[in-house]
Amino acid sequence: MINDVIGTVFYPRNVAVIGASESRDNMGKNIVQNLLDHHFQGEVFPVGPKGGSIFGLTVYPSVLDIPENIDFAAMITPARTVPDLVGQCGKKGAKVIYIATGGFREFNSENVDLETEILAQARRYDVRLIGPNCIGVINSEIGLCLPFSAIPPLKIGPVSILSQSGGVANSYLMHLFAENIGVNKWVSMGNKLDLEETDFIEYLLEDPWTQVICVHSEGLKMGKRLLELAQSSTKPIILHKVSRFGATAEVADSHTAAIANDDRLIDAICRQGPIVRAGTINEAVNYAKAFILPKLNGNRLAVVSRSGGHGVIATDFCVKYGFEMPPYNDEYLKRVEEFFRAKVVKTANPLDLGDLWNFESYWYILENAIKQDQFDGMLFVFAYNLVQQHELMVNTTIFLSELIRRYNKPIAFVLQGWKDRVDRLRESVSFPVFSEIDEAVKALATSRDFYRKKSMNT
């Protein structure tokens, strides 16, 4: 079963790091350091012909010298050495090998032979391969962190990432962490000589720690299987398929030996799946944020805005994305008006709180909006100077989580303010925060449409 293999990828008992040495620029050493820095819960065996020790760990001259059988090998050695080393790992019982090394098919068509040889060795010993030409695997749950460049402390969370490009995989990690959204599992797939998107997706659809799957791909081999997998589950898959044009396909081929896809075929698969298609990393992350929230069971939004101008903009996007904005209860609006200072702002949906300076009343206003039966969810836009009130904003954001639990309706929270204040708030809470109104509304609409389609297909 593929899920046993991928289980070993994410939860190996030990990792051999092949190509490690004490020298300053050694990349294998960086992998060992990442495993130690992130407190990997298994054993680490550095391997390199020069021997010695790294961070107090013995460097074994060969995989065969390791005193016990291995689960997982990370390999960063010259391309020509890889086939033999794969065989040696096979002999030591490795279930899976991640080959970081580049310079195969994507560099030179003659190197196809080298890839064939590697694959033959792998098949012979029943070892599965990740890569080559990739930067490895992360599983935040157990501190498994295999890229060969330094990764700062991981944030554990509900989003898992698959990426063909290592650079793009890194960008996803950096983007999600900047938003204070945790990553659960993360794979850079590179040339996909053996394991590819659908192998990992099959596992992640069953993984209880993964709530949303983002997939960056430069060329999909298994469109039909992807479609079947998507149809087998209600867990959202966000597909960021790049290399959309003929001119790009050539570039992608020399990057990860990616096969060319007809972009319309990809669209057709997404439509049927349903799979959410994202055009950029930023878009994929925004969709992921919406999918972390509870499902929107309808189409009617309560809009609350700190500023009238942002309320106008929110209305534009609610109309554009097909949301309804039913009126608030009269009684509720009367109560809200009592909180106002100058009493010169009309209340309606969107609710303009520009005249509200008693920020303590936000809790009352938010809860009594979301609980009204005519709303399926809420868009809360807080665009403000935010010079003080850090504590209050933190508590209000935590209260949003509580409201979501209490009423099981999504709240898309858009926050705009002076950068340092927004950053500080984001660091203090783990609630998904949107930067832009259009992005929040589009993400809510994408989530709505995904579940609508799912319910029609079942």
Which of 319, 360, 390, 398 forms a contact with a second copy (CB under 8 A)? 319
Q: Is residue 128 a contact partner of residue 162, using CB atoms and an 8 Å limit? A: no
Out of 149, 232, 272, 408, point to the residue binding a second copy (CB under 8 A): 149
Bridge-based pairing state of the strands 57-58 and 53-54: antiparallel
**Residue recorded with tokens 């460097």:** 59
> What span, in angstroms and rounded, lies between the C-alpha atoms of 376 and 9?
40
Q: Which is closer to a second copy, CB of 344 or CB of 456?
A: 344
Q: In angstroms, give the least distance from the CB of 426 to a second copy.
A: 9
Of 37-45, 367-375, 410-418, 448-456, the window that binds a second copy (rule: CB under 8 A) is 410-418
Shortest approach of a second copy to residue 266 CB, angstroms?
Answer: 13
Shortest distance in whole angstroms from residue 184 CB to a second copy:
19
Strands 57-58, 136-139: parallel, antiparallel or unpaired by DSSP?
unpaired
Stretch that binds a second copy, among 1-9, 276-284, 400-408, 446-454 (CB under 8 A): 276-284
Write the CB contacts of 426 (distance below 8 Å, at least 6 apart in sequence): 179, 180, 415, 433
Q: Which of residues 61-90 bind a second copy (CB under 8 A)?
A: 78-79
Q: How far apart are CA 349 and CA 330, in angstroms?
A: 11
CB-based contact 173:285 (threshold 8 Å) = no
**What's the maximum distance between 2 C-alpha atoms anywhere in the chain?**
80
Instruction: Write down the least CB distance from residue 200 to a second copy, Å.
Output: 17
> Between residue 191 and residue 230, which ones bind a second copy under the rule CB under 8 A?
216, 218
The site map against a second copy for 21-50 (x = CB under 8 A) is: ----x-------------------------
Angle between helix 166-178 and helix 281-292 axes, rounded to 10 deg: 50
Residues 72, 16: Cα–Cα separation, whole Å: 6
What minimum distance in Å lies between the beta carbon of 291 and a second copy?
Answer: 21
What span, in angstroms and rounded, lies between the C-alpha atoms of 213 and 157? Answer: 12
Nearest approach, Cβ of 316 to a second copy (angstroms)? 5
Q: Which is nearer to a second copy, 64 or 319 (CB)?
A: 319
Residue 104 CB, shortest distance to a second copy, in Å, is: 8
Identity of the residue, 170 or 184, whose beta carbon is nearer to a second copy in the bound complex: 170
In whole angstroms, how close is the CB of 79 to a second copy at the nearest point?
7
> With binding defined as CB under 8 A, does residue 155 bind a second copy?
no
Among the candidate windows 59-67, 80-88, 168-176, 224-232, which touches a second copy by CB under 8 A?
Answer: 168-176
Q: What string marks each residue from 278 to 317 as x (binds a second copy by CB under 8 A) or -?
A: -xxxx-----------------------xxxxxxxx-xx-
Q: Which of 39, 68, 327, 357 binds a second copy (CB under 8 A)?
A: 357
> Among 110, 387, 405, 458, which residue interacts with a second copy (rule: CB under 8 A)?
387
Residues from 93 through 112 that contact a second copy (CB under 8 A) = 101-103, 106-107
Selected range binding a second copy among 32-40, 86-94, 340-348, 447-455, rule: CB under 8 A: 340-348
Query: What would the two tokens of residue 140 be?
Result: 């935040």
- Tell me whether strands 136-139 and 183-188 are parallel, antiparallel or unpaired: antiparallel
In whole angstroms, what is the distance from residue 47 CA to residue 63 CA? 6
From 50-58, 204-212, 344-352, 362-370, span contacting a second copy (CB under 8 A): 344-352
State in angstroms the smallest separation of the CB of 327 from a second copy. Answer: 12
Contact assessment for residue 278 and residue 284, using Cβ atoms and an 8 Å cutoff:
yes
Whether 106 and 257 have beta carbons less than 8 Å apart is answered as yes
DSSP strand pairing (237-241 vs 212-217): parallel
Number of amino acids touching a second copy (CB under 8 A): 80
Q: What is the DSSP letter of 327?
A: P
Indicate the SS3 state at residue 132. Answer: coil
Which residue lies nearer to a second copy by CB, 404 or 437? 437
Which positions from 115 to 144 touch a second copy by CB under 8 A, shown as an x/- string? Answer: ------------------------------
Of 387, 384, 375, the closest CA to residue 412 belongs to: 375
Nearest-angstrom CA–CA distance, 381 and 305: 5
* 422: CB partners within 8 A, 6+ apart: 386, 415, 416
Nearest distance, CB of residue 176 and a second copy, angstroms: 10
CB of 399 to a second copy, least distance (A): 22
C-beta separation of 162 from 200 below 8 A = yes
Binding to a second copy (CB under 8 A): which residues in 415-454? 416-419, 423, 435-438
- b/e 352-366 (16+ beta carbons within 10 angstroms → b): bbbbbeebebbbebb
